[in-house]
Amino acid sequence: MIVDQYYDQVEAMKPTRFSEWLAKELGVSQKDISVQSIHSAIVRRKKKSLDQPVKKKVDSSSDDSNFNTEIPKTFPGFK
């Protein structure tokens, strides 16, 4: 959850530097913050973003009713 909130900072600082910063922010010992857990959270977040399909924005001006499905008579093999 912390990595989600501070993802840009984690990416910029890398897990070790981020854990130092976070320990100071929270007023706890750096030993209480697992660098491996931060790294794992980054990997999970990257994987999650890769697994999510990119949503294509649909243009409201496109109209399927104008789509022509007829095969032209000049098409090769048309009888």
Tokens describing residue 49? 């973003």
Q: What is the mean pLDDT of residues 39-66?
A: 72
| Cα torsion angle, 54, 7, 2, 33, sign | positive
Asked if the model's pLDDT at residue 76 lies above 80, the reply is: no
Residue type, 79: K
First to last CA, the chain: 63
Would the pTM of this model clear 0.85, i.e. be above it?
A: no
Average pLDDT over residues 55-69: 63
Residue 49 burial by CB count (10 A; 0-12/13-18/19+): exposed, middle or buried?
A: exposed
Tokens of 32: 């209480």
User: Would you kindly state where each structural domain of the chain is located, as residue ranges?
Assistant: 2-52
Packing angle of the helix pair 7-26, 35-51 (nearest 10 deg): 150
